[in-house]
Structures are given as structure tokens and as C-alpha cells.
Structure 1
Amino acid sequence: MERRIVELLHSPGYKPVKPAAIARKLGLTKKHGGEFRTALANLMHAGTVVEDRKGRLRRMSEPGQFVGIYKKTRKGGFVTERAEPGGDSNHEPREAFIPPEDSLDAADRDEVSVEVRNRRGSFGKRYGRIVEVLQRARHNFVGTYLEKSGKGFVRVDGNAFDMLVEVGDPGAKGARQEDKVVIEMLRFPRHERRGEAVLVEVLGKAGEPGVDTQTIIHEYGLPTEFSTEVLEDASEQADRFDETDLNGRVDLTKETIVTIDPVDARDFDDAISLRRSKDGHWHLGVHIADVSTFVQPNSALDRSAKQRGTSVYLPGRVIPMLPEVISNGLASLQQGKVRYTKSALMEFNAEGIPVGMRYENTAIKVTRRFAYEEVMPIVNEPDKYKATVSAKIRKLLVEMYDLAMLLRQRRFAAGAIELFLPEVKLVLDRDSQVEGAEEIPHDPSHQIIEEFMLAANVAIATEMHDKGIPLIRRAHPEPDEKKLKDFAEFVGTLDYRLKQYQSREALQELLQQVKGEPQERAVNYAMLRSLKQAVYTAKEEGHYALAFEHYCHFTSPIRRYADLVVHRTINELLTQGKYRGSGPRELERIATHCSDMSRRAEAAERDLVKLKLLQFMQTRVGQTFHAVITGVERFGFFARGIEIPFEGMAHISAVEDALGEIVDYDSSAFALVARRSGRTFRLGEPIEIEVTLVDVATRKLDLKPLKASAGERPKKRKQKEQTDSPPKHEKKGPRNKNPKRNRKSKRRGRK
């Protein structure tokens, strides 16, 4: 049996599949099940067969080979080794540069097997050769339709392919010259060999309203429509819902409960109650929409939600994880409506230390809905709102603020890190075209909700840890020591001393020191690049940036499948008295899928923002803008506009032409430095740039620096002695009155 499995995995054309598919390919029946599982376990234990992040099986890579994701560039591409489940977390992932002639027929984001070569290029880059494409990231692509010599072709958007892709007879699907179209690849192109595809959909002319959004939706394969089966399941749940049936639920419908959300929010998945007892203790209730009541395991709704993994928030459009009858109806905590919830009921002493916690299936009726902008005026001057806001609500908001600021102070005292990078939101017209941008505030009203959501997530994760219950957690791994050391060397070039670069307290103290200083953006961008990405996992791992030993996502099951799985875990404990759900292995697979879908959603949002901004900038070539440098490489620097957040690159040749002198790369300072004048282009520095080229089809925006906006070498500043004391936050009164000091805004729960 072991020999048969290995032979199948080594057969030509084999693509990684799950064990059940292997068994089918081998023609095995149920009576062979035990033998098959034993053989497979032996092979995996020996390392002959490897299970990837999605539970698919492949053979172990040959010596000198590794598996990773191919990232296409204009002159070849890169592959970074992908971590294996259960692998050594301290293993430094390998990376190889892939010349175009050695890329096989791999496309951007494909999973590939790479053979590493001894050859090294400039700057010590290791070269590699793709030996096999293991898994295609996608088969559908978007591009511009063209006709040449009586044949139809498509120029795929971006830098996915270097040549036109042939699509056969002209005019298929009614396509016209310069239309944006969707194609399905039949034969992927190779170096100097044209690809072949079939045209499946015409989106319309480039620049027409909605075409850019459809482009990104198809590029990322985002599911927009729900199947009839899913919609019928949702309708059936709506028919069954009876707000008078509170059987098995704690009735909290008489409690004073509020929601605080963006003014344009359509779904409301969290609500807050709070009271203070005579002993000075705080009793906080975080009430989360009980989506698990309506989305049963293995139902049509569940299968659809699991596949999507998350809602996708695009500029001007939301692609929900669940149908609107659930997300905006049954599970939306609307004012004055009885709704089912799962509640984390926490108790804190007068100093904000947690002393008790329980979770319950509950029913609530929101007393009052607030937009963020309405909260702080009431907190600051409660008597002024006597006529419009009841005494109970005013008292509740003031106490919510007091507790949130206390929890916030304790969190930073424990070593939490918070970057100061303002988030900018596009302002769109009726046709979803960019007409401006605005900075999203992160004032204390946002911080109130943020602190309470964090507290609930920590409380649930800690409780499950104490009970020994497997759980999908939200983990943020510790950064690599080398990256932190490089960061310390970088801030040293700015005359900031960071001896204890492994200390979270020291890092946050540094962020406080540079706040409001000219070096603020530079330090924050550099620190961001030093940190790893947060992931979902079934492993007992903490959250580095938040300084939490135990953390999960519990607060947004309407839009995140990982939260829904956590709710089901809680529900089993409440209704059955013990956990009978998925084991760690299955939870890890779900967690990996949720991480992948979350990153896909973020990448789609980022690319649509970029596309809309490129369209906006098309008519602004030759104009000058204020920007900030967001990345520095040997080949040039990247910059982002301040008033309008477009992103572009100034190639080193354009920099040298603008200055009239040679420019060198200083890796330790994250800077380009002119040899004669000493002018620097450093990460995070403000700069004036000119837009020299905008190409929407290739997603390219070229810049050049202005001669007049010389960035001199940083002036020496008086050294501030660093202490280990945490940043101090006022307990009373609104914070961050200076708009320049607003903290980074995050969509709630994204941490």
C-alpha cells in the first residue's frame, strides 16, 4: 500500500489532492480503509509524504528543492518557501529569484516546486528554477480585448504575462476592440510561447462605471452571488425565527444596551452593557450576534460561508459572507428589536483587573444605537444632552469611557504595541469614481469599542485554554530577531537609541518618542516592516503586538467564519456540557483556509483602491504632489500621496536624472543617498514628486523627485533617554485633540 501511494504521488501530472481523492485514484474500497490510513501515517511519519496547509498530499521535495508561492515581477519572479504544518517555526524560509526562461508556465501566486541553483546574481540573490506547478492560484484572468490579423487576443492586466494571450475567432461573446473581458486559460504561456484561452465574459469599456470593480472581483475569484439553495436556507431560517421564543436563553431584553458603529453601518454585530457594583467592580457585557443559531454545521449556509471565509469590503461595495436576510436582518442587532446573542459577561475590579467571566446564550433588545461621532460630545458634556439622551444612557456612556481607558492603560503597561499610521478612505461619487480622500479618525469613541472587543476575545480564549478546549485562535508570531536588530540599526541612523530591541515596552516607548516628530512616519513604517502577519491557528500561540497570551476572534461571526467556529464551540459547551466538535487537525485546516481568504480579501481591496486611484491620476500626469516614501530598494523608492493616497515608484534612473548625479543604496538606513550633494531619500520621509506616467492596464505609476525638495541628511537631535515605563494615557477627557496625532484606524476586530 505504501509503494502504491508513493508511485501515484510520483506519477507524471500528479497534482496535490486530499487523502480521499488518493484512495479513489487507487480504486480502494471501505475494506481497505484501515490499511490505507496506516500506510499513509507511516509515510508521513517518515517524511516521504507531506500534507500541505489545505490537507492535500504531495511527495517530499528533493534535496535542494522547496515549495513556495511564485510572485511574478516585470523581469522574472521570486518564490519564497512556504512553511509546512508542524514545521520548525525558527526555520528561515528560503527565497529564490526565477529568471523568465526558468519560470516554466507558472503564473502569479501559483504554488510551485523550485530547484535552488548555486548561481547568485547581483546583491547575492540566489537563483532558482521552477520544476513543477503544484497548484494554480486561478484559471480566470481579466484583460483588454484586441484584434490582430483576423484573430482575437487579450492583453492581461498587470504584469501576469509578458505576451498577448490568443482567444481564437474575433468577436466572441460580442467583444469589441478595447473591451475589458474575462478569459479562462486553456494553456498557460511559457517563456517565448504564447498562451491560449477562451473568452467567457465581456465586462465593458475600460473606465465605465463598475468595470473596475468587476475586474478585481474576477481577478480574485470572489463569489458575489449566493446559490438558490443557500438563499432558500436563509429564508427558511427567517421563517423559523420567533423573537418570543427565548427557551434556553438568558433574557437581557430589559437591560440598558447600546451599539456604537460607523454612521453608514448596515449590520450591527456587537452591543455593550455595563454597570458598576457597590464594591467598585465593573460588570461588562459584550453581546455578539448569535449567527450559529441560523447557520448550522454542514448546511448550505455553512458550506457557502466556509468557502467564502470572510466578507470582502471593496470601495463602494461589500460582498458579504452571509445573505443579507441573515447579515442585515436576523443577526443584526437593530435598535428596539429582540435578537439572539452570545454574551461574554466579564467582571473587573476597580483597577481594571479581570476577576470573573462567564458566557451565555442570551437575548437582547438594543436600547439606543449611536454613531461614533455622537459619543464623545455626550461623554464630555453629559448634561448638555438631557433633552435627547436618557440619564441611564448618559451614565452608561461615561462609565464605558472610563473603563475602556483603564483597560487601554493596562494593555499598554503590559507591553502592547500600536503603530501611528493614519488610514485614508476614498471619497467616491455616484459612479464609484474617486473624487477625493479623507483620513479616518481613531478617537476615543473608536477606542471604547476596540478595548471591549479585545477584552471579550481575550476572555473567551483564556477560558477555552483553562478548560483544555481546542479553539481557532488569532495569533501574531514574535518578529525575527534579525529584523528587530536591523530596525534598531535603522532608528540609530535617526539618532534614536534602541538597545532593548527585543522588548515590546522599549518599542512602544520609541513610538511615543517619535510621535509628532519629523521621523514619526519613518520609524512607524520601518517597524511595520519588521513585524510578521497575524494568522488564524489552532495552536496555543499568543499575540505579539497586543501582548496577549491567549487571543481569538469571537466578536464578528457575521463577517468572519473563524468567529462562527468559535461560537459553535461555546454553544456545544452551553447546550451539551462538553465539547464534541472538530479536533486540532481539522481546526488547523479551517484556520489556514480562513487566513488565506482573509488575505485574499485584503489584497482585492488593496488592488481595487489602486486601480481606482490610477484612473483618477490618468489626467494628472505632469502634476506635482506631496508624498511620503513608503519603501526603498536598490532599484528606486516607492511613495504614497498624502492628500490622495496613490502609490507609485521612482526608478533609480529617474532619481539620478532628476538630480544629475549618481545615487547609492544604503541598506542600513533604508535610504538612497546622492554621492555629491548628500541628498537622501529615506523610508518615511516627506517628499515632493512629479507624476511622469500612468498606465492603468499594467497598473503602473511612475514618479520622479523634484530638484527643489531636497531631503538633507537628518539633523542631529538631542538624545532622549529611553525608559521602560509604559506610555501613559489620560483617564479623563478626550484624547488626541491634535488631528496629526490620531491613531491608526482599523476596521473593528481586524487585529
Structure 2
Amino acid sequence: MKSKKIKNKHYTNFATGHINITIHGYAFVNIEGFQKDIFIPKNKINRALEGDLVQIGFRKNRKGIKKAGEVLKIIKRKNIKFIGILKFNIQSNLKHASVIVNKIHVNIIIPINNKNLKEYHHNDKVLVQIISWPKKLQNPFGKIIKIFGTSGEYNTEIFSLLEEYKIPYKFSKKIEDEAKQIFLKKNLDTHLRRDMRNIRTFTIDPFDAKDFDDAISIKKLNFDIWEIGIHISDVSHYINEETLLDKEAYTRATSIYFVGKVIPMLPKILSNDLCSLQPKKDRLSFSYIFNIDSKGKILKNWFGKTIIRSDRKFTYDEVQKIIYEKKGDFYEDISTLFLISKILTKKRLKNGAIYLEKVEVKFNLDERKNPISLYLEKHNDAHQLIEELMLLTNRKISEFVSLNFNKESSNKFYIYRIHDKPDIQKIFFLKKVIEPLGYFLDLKNLKNSINNLLKKIKGKPEQNMIENLILRSMNKAKYSTKNIGHYGLSFIYYTHFTSPIRRYSDIIAHRLLHYYLNNNANKKIKTIEFYEKQSQYCSDKERLTVDAEREFLKYIQIKYIKKFLGKEFYGIITGFTDWSIYIELLLFQIEGMVRLRDIKDDCYVLNSNNCSIIGKKKRKIYHLGDKVKIKLIDINIEKKQIILDWNNYEKNTK
């Protein structure tokens, strides 16, 4: 937006916008209505920090092209508190320290006296607040308001990350007391609940899971028909709207799964006990029960509250072994469910769903939470079995509400998980990247073409890079009361219903379904605007959580590969900038960086297509997706950087 004109004899144009400062010290200001950002030189930033709302002055030449500008005024700081690493400097007899903050371009000076000298330590990770910034100084002064511990240690990195993302990790005494009261009452009332305790039921989860959201029951009705129940923990039965516990769950919106630690949405007495569908215990659930034949045709649907008793818990590995060896506990039931899941997968793909199987990087930690080994967890038959049944449940429930209730009245609605069509510019970029690698993308039949591409790259070195590009080309799925369908799954109706212990969006879905099923005239439903606001909030918190989980995973990955310094590895080129090349280390599935200035055999520059670099003398070209051999030469845990060297190594031909 344009600002009021201020007096300044050097400039004829003035505007207001947010500043983006590069790691090299110069900046750009985004001005509403301008096609290009205004460039700000290093010496014209005038104490602005990343993201600040600033007022700038600039000139235009005769052709109307905007020249470099200057920050004239800081209207609003984006932030005055930062997390960084404390470094001591002793020059002459003047004692002071600096906090190095990766996310801003200047260090923050911390005055040191005898009192805090004993309190602070070199390489402490700290939360610092800017208290002043004299005009004549290049750096601001700050004060330390929290110390997390030595940089690089597990607990230090966890709790500083939680602070940075403003994620609460402790429950107040009032919240814990409220949860305890719910636990003590238990309230296992079977009134108006379908009793499923005599039907074979079990859970399938990761080996370290404690919060069992879902259980499956199966009963053979005749030679060709089975009754299958998908039972989801009835969290909304225990947590009433507007209670302290409900407000806390909404604030958190989701559980967070770091490597080696879970930050739960609900207190553990609920998430790991009362609401968890543990074996050999009566548990309340909200269920989708259906009859299905051997061809995958659903003959009958039922939705409602139940009480179940799980017979046993399985891990994914145990179920995978039973499927592979064709023997073991509940083999016949598991085999039937697996065959049904394969039919459901086939139907979904035929209907146009994109089938993206991402391999997850997992770590084993020692007693001190240091990573000691890495393994890649692939999507196996057991995962497919659970995934398809959960997808079916989420689809059928949203379909049931939409077709049976939403059309009757304008004030009846639901919370949907929606996914818009992909960004066409990113699809064009994907097409441009894969063609030099020998792959093709048909834009007229995009979904089938993407699925064919995914099949062709399976097992190839460039698989992970291309899969990531496909993911980046897609819009983010989100929650909304305004249904547009789910592009990636090719579903007209879809919701999240199956994980209420760890997602608040699912609690909303439970409450609305219960309201509609009971035609609850005594309870007034809130407005669509209220639920749309909650949907947007859950979407925002989900994205923030994903970012935090990824950042912590990168810390664990970098800490793990530090032991391999000086070793040689194969990698795939995944990105270029004007100054560097990004390479994914295939063994670890993490990106490192080669600085262009460090390559000795030629002077490489970025081609205009941003998909390749070319040597000025030898004209040698490197493309995205090329496999190269590199050496791991440096690790910076604080900046989460991996520095690589590929001098004297040739590009590997496929």
C-alpha cells in the first residue's frame, strides 16, 4: 500500500511495505500494486530487520523504472525476540557477548557484567530481546530472557524450537486436574450405543504408538460378505465444548511428533489411556460399520456411537509379516482386510487419484537421544490396509452428511478436507525439469500422466527429487466448510474423522456428525462462520506443525551425518541458485550445498531456465536430477547446513 508523502529532498516517491533481507545484507521491499520489489542496498537498510513494516523512499528514471530505495522509517517491527547462539568476545578489557541469530542479518550485542558472566556460557542457545539500537551502531543491544542449554543438544533444540514456533508443551495444573476428573469418572455409559465387544477387534499402529485412535472389527456374514467396523476413539464424548480442556486442545490443534518425543494435543491421561483404544479394555468409539462383498461393493452403511473391546494390538511390522508368511494371529481376518484394501486402492486409482508413496527417514536414538542409526520406512502392505480403510471412512462420513443433511437446510454444513487443483506454473516447471531426464508429462491428462511418471521413477536415483517437485506443484490440502472436493484423492467428499486424539479438526467432525445423527433440537448449532474460522485455524496450525517437525528432523539428520565428515557419497542435484548447487545425499535423503565459487574446474553460471548451470570455459552443463559424486566436508548444526565438495568428481552417467 502507498503511504502518506513525507518530507525528504532526496526522493520523489514514497511507499510502505514489508522488507525481505537476504543473507548477503541487501534487501527488497514488497509494495502492493508494484510488479517488482524495490531493491534496498546494504547501507540503506537503516536498522530494519527481516519482515518489518517499513516506509521507503525511491526515485524513478525517465522511463519510469524504479531505482534503488532507502528505508526511511520503521513503522512496525515484526519481532523483537529472537533465538540464537551466545558467543563471547573479549577485546582489550571490554567484556561483551553477541547472540548470532540465523534468521536476521545482524548479531545482537549482550553487555556482560560479573553477575551474568557466571550465568551465561559460550555456545548457549538463548532467547534474546532487543532493548535498544543506537543510530550510530551497526548492531542492536539486547538482553537474554531465557537459556535453553548448550547448542546442538537434544533437549536444547527441542525446547528452543517449541519457543520459536510458540508451541505450548506443558499443560497447566487446571487442565491436568480437569483431565484427571474425566478419567476418574470414566463414564462408560452404554446407553444408545451399539455393543461391539463380542466381535473380533484389533488395532494396527507403529511399534512405539501409545495413542490408539482407531480399531478395526471384522465378522464374516456368509461365504462372500463381511461386516467391517472402523472404530474411532470417541474423544468428543469426554471433552465438552467451551471447557478449559476443549479450549486448550483447540489452541494446540494437533499433536506434534518429533524424533524421539511427542507433544500431545491432550493430556496423556486421556491421549494414552482413557481415549486410547487399548487391548482388553472397554472403550467408547464413534464407528462406521459396513457390509462389503469380495468384489469391494459396499452393501450397507451404518454410522453411530459404539462400545468396543480390542482383542489385541498389532504393529505394522507384525501385520506385514502375517501377510507375507500367510500365517499368524488373526491371519484369515487380516488377509481378508488386505484383499479388500487392494480392491479399494485399485478403484481409487481408476477414479483418478494420485498415488504418491513417500519413503520416510527414521532414526534410532540412544539413551541420550543421539541418533545412532538411520533407516528408511517404506509404505508396505500393512500401511496400505490401514490407509485405505481410513480413507474410506473419511470419504463415506463426509458423503453421508453432505447427501443426507446439508441439502435440507442452509444452516447445516460440515468440515471438509479440501485440496485444490495444482499450480499450473509449478506443473510447467516440473515438466521442464523432467524432460532432460527422459520423462514426459501430458498436461491434458495430468493425473494419469503423474501416476505413470511415479511408476517410471520408482527405484531411480532421481525418484525422491521428482516426488518432492510433484508435491511442491500441488496446492496444500486444508480444512473448510466450503467443499470443493479433494483433487489428489479424487474424492468429491472428504473429511478428517479418524484421528481425534491428535487432531482437533476430527473432534469438530465428530461433534457435527453426532448433532446431525441425533437431530439435536435442544442444542443450537453454531454458525457456519464459526466453523469456517476454526477450519482456517486448524489449517494454519497444521502447516506450522509440519514446518517444526521438518526442522527438527533436519537437526537430527545433520547431527547423525556429522560422523561421516570426509567421506564420499552419491547425490542428486535438486536445486540451483546464483551462488550454489543443492544436492540430495541419496543415502541420507537430506540436502547439502556446494558453493559455485568453490568449484575449481570452471566458472559456472546459472542458465536462464533455472534448471541447469554451465561452465563459461568448457561449456559443461549440469542439470537438475544429474547424479554426482561428492565429498562431505563441513557440518554446521547451528545453521543446519551441510557443505559439500565435488572437485575432481565427474558427473555419473545413468
TM-score class normalised by the smaller sequence: 0.7 to 0.9
Equivalent residue for 1:215, pick from 160, 170, 178: 160
Amino acid at match of 1:419: L
- Kindly indicate whether residue 500 of structure 2 is the aligned counterpart of residue 557 of structure 1: yes
Contact 1:632 1:682 in 2 (8 A): no
How many Å separate the matches in 2 of 1:470 and 1:250?
26
Shift of 1:247: 1.8
Residues 28-85 of structure 1 deviation map (CA, whole Å, 9 limit, x = unaligned): xxxxxxxxxxxxxxxxxxxxxxxxxxxxxxxxxx998777x96864545678899xxx
Correspondence for 2:409:
none
Could you give the per-residue CA deviations for residues 87-116 of structure 1, whole angstroms, max 9, x where no partner exists? xxxx999877766567676655x5858989
Matched, 1:532 2:475: yes
**Aligned partner letter, 1:146:** F
1:706–1:401 distance in 2 versus 1, CA, 3 Å: farther
1:321 alignment partner, SS class: coil
Distance 1:136 1:128 in 2: 20
Q: Per-residue deviation at 1:177?
A: 3.2
Q: Which moved more, 1:619-628 or 1:220-229?
A: 619-628
Distance in 1, matches of 2:246 and 2:578, equals 48
Distance 1:277 1:619, change over 3 A: closer
Assess, with a 3 A threshold, how the Cα gap between structure 1 residues 515 and 113 changes in structure 2: closer, same or farther: farther
Aligned-pair CA distance for 1:456: 0.9
Distance 2:576 2:642 in 1: 16
Q: Separation in 2 of the partners of 1:94 and 1:590?
A: 35
SS in structure 2 of the partner of residue 491 of structure 1: helix
Counterpart-to-counterpart distance in 1, 2:243 and 2:257: 25
Change (3 A) 1:240 1:101: farther
Query: 1:475 and 1:150 mapped to 2: Cα distance?
Result: 59
Identity value in percent: 25
User: CA, structure 1 residues 118+404, in 2 after alignment: closer, same or farther (shift >3 Å)?
Assistant: farther
Larger RCO (alpha carbons 8 Å, 6+ apart): 1
Tell me if the contact between 2:16 and 2:31 (Cα under 8 Å) persists in the aligned partners: no
Of 414, 433, 436, the residue aligned with 1:490 is 433
- The residue matched to 1:268 in structure 2 has which SS? coil
How far apart, in 2, do the equivalents of 1:129 and 1:636 lie?
28
Residue type of the partner of 2:584? R
* Map of 1:433 onto structure 2: 370
Please report how far the alpha carbon of residue 678 of structure 1 lies from its aligned counterpart in structure 2 after TM superposition: 5.6
Q: Which amino acid aligns with 2:347?
A: R
1:195 deviates by: 2.8
Following the alignment from structure 1 to structure 2, what is the Cα–Cα distance between the partners of residues 582 and 694? 53
> Does structure 1 residue 377 correspond to structure 2 residue 321?
yes
Residue of structure 1 aligned with 2:147, choices 188, 196, 202: 202
**In structure 2, the residue corresponding to 1:232 is in which secondary structure?**
helix
Task: Write the distance in 2 (CA, Å) between the matches of 1:329 and 1:71.
Answer: 48
* Distance change >3 Å, CA 263–CA 111, structure 1 → 2: farther
Does 2:623 correspond to 1:682? yes
Aligned position for 1:740 = none
User: Residue type matched to 1:361 in 2?
Assistant: K
- Point out the more displaced range, 397-406 or 511-520: 511-520
Inter-partner Cα distance in structure 2 for 1:280 and 1:496? 43
* Inter-partner Cα distance in structure 2 for 1:353 and 1:71: 57
Separation in structure 1 between the aligned mates of residue 321 and residue 108 of structure 2, nearest angstrom: 58
Measure, in 2, the Cα distance between the counterparts of 1:107 and 1:325. Answer: 43
1:709 aligned partner: 650
Which residue number corresponds to residue 116 of structure 2? 172
- Secondary structure in structure 2 of the residue aligned to 1:601: helix
Q: Structure 2 vs 1, CA of residues 93 and 113 (structure 1 numbering), >3 Å: closer, same or farther?
A: farther
Asked if 1:398 corresponds to 2:335, the answer is yes
CA RMSD of aligned residues (A): 3.7
Shift of 1:409: 0.6
List gaps (5 residues or longer) in structure 2. 5-12, 407-411
Deviation at 1:249, TM superposition (A): 1.6
Deviations 1:501-521 (A, max 9, x none): 552112212222332345534
Q: Is the 8 A contact 1:669 1:682 kept in 2?
A: no
Whether 1:341 and 2:285 are equivalent positions in the alignment is: yes
Query: In the TM superposition, what is the alpha-carbon distance from 1:449 to its structure 2 partner?
Result: 0.4
Given residue 156 of structure 2, which amino acid in structure 1 is its aligned partner?
A: V
Q: How does 1:558-597 map to 2 (within 5 A)?
A: 558-577=501-520, 580-597=524-541
Q: Is contact 2:59-2:66 (8 Å) kept?
A: no
User: Residue 511 of structure 1 is aligned with which of 441, 444, 454?
Assistant: 454
Counterpart of 1:237 in structure 2 is: 182
Contact 2:80 2:130 in 1 (8 A): no
Do the aligned residues in 1 keep the contact of 2:390 with 2:498 (CA within 8 Å)? yes
Corresponding residue for residue 141 of structure 1: 83
Query: What is the CA distance between 1:636 and its match in structure 2?
Result: 2.1
In structure 2, C-alpha distance between the alignment counterparts of 1:99 and 1:536, rounded to whole Å: 41
What are the residue-to-residue correspondences of 1:524-673 with 2, within 5 Å? 524-577=467-520, 580-618=524-562, 620-655=564-599, 657=600, 660-666=601-607, 668=609, 670-673=611-614
CA contact (8 A) 2:631 2:646 kept: yes
1:81 and 1:308 map into 2 onto residues whose CA distance is 34
- Pair 1:202–1:481, CA change in 2 (3 A): closer
Checking the alignment, whether the CA contact within 8 Å between 1:79 and 1:95 is kept in structure 2 is: yes
Tell me which amino acid in the other structure corresponds to 2:548: A
Q: CA 1:604–1:405 in 2, change beyond 3 Å: closer, same or farther?
A: same
Pairing 1:49-448 to 2, within 5 Å after superposition: 73-76=23-26, 110=51, 112=53, 136=78, 139-146=81-88, 148=90, 150=94, 152-166=96-110, 169=113, 171-172=115-116, 174-187=118-131, 193-208=138-153, 210-243=155-188, 245-278=189-222, 280-348=224-292, 350-354=294-298, 356-382=300-326, 384-385=327-328, 389=329, 393-448=330-385
Q: Which amino acid in structure 1 is aligned with residue 333 of structure 2?
A: L
Contact 1:628 1:687 in 2 (8 A): yes
> Partners of 1:680 and 1:436 in 2: how far apart?
36
Q: 1:342, 1:361 within 8 Å by CA — same for their partners in 2?
A: yes
SS in 2 for 1:609: helix
Contact 1:310 / 1:560 at 8 angstroms: preserved in 2? yes
The amino acid that maps onto 2:390 is M
One-letter amino acid matched to 1:251 = D
Work out whether residues 173 and 202 of structure 1, in 8 Å CA contact, stay in contact via their aligned partners in 2: no
Shift of 1:396: 1.4
Question: Given that residues 159 and 698 in structure 1 are in contact (C-alpha distance below 8 angstroms), is that contact kept between their aligned partners in structure 2?
Answer: no
Q: 1:284, 1:346 within 8 Å by CA — same for their partners in 2?
A: yes
In 2, Cα distance between the equivalents of 1:94 and 1:600?
28
> Aligned to 1:698, which of 618, 632, 639?
639
1:368-427 Cα shifts (integer Å, max 9, x gaps): 211111113323444x43xxx2xxx32211111011000001111111113344221122
Residue 500 in structure 1 maps to residue 443 in structure 2: yes
Structure 1 residues 632 and 200, CA gap change in structure 2 (3 angstroms)? same
| Structure 2 counterpart of 1:402, one-letter code | L
Closer, same or farther: CA 523–182 of 1 in aligned 2, 3 Å: closer
Q: Report the secondary structure of 2:451's partner residue.
A: helix
Q: Which residue of 2 aligns with 1:48?
A: none
Alpha-carbon contact 2:265-2:502 (below 8 Å) kept = yes
Matched letter for residue 83 of structure 2: F
Partners in 2 of 1:680 and 1:594 — Cα distance?
Answer: 45
CA distance in 1, matches of 2:36, 2:525: 37
Aligned-partner SS, 2:443? coil
C-alpha separation between the residues in 2 aligned to 1:598 and 1:93? 31
| SS across alignment from 2:369 | coil
* Cα distance in 2 for residues equivalent to 1:115 and 1:470: 46
**Structure 2 vs 1, CA of residues 646 and 564 (structure 1 numbering), >3 Å: closer, same or farther?**
same
**Residues 251 and 363, structure 1, Cα contact 8 Å, conserved in 2:** yes
Helix, strand or coil: the match of 1:210? helix
Alpha-carbon distance, 1:495 to partner: 2.9
Maintained 8 Å contact 1:679/1:710: no
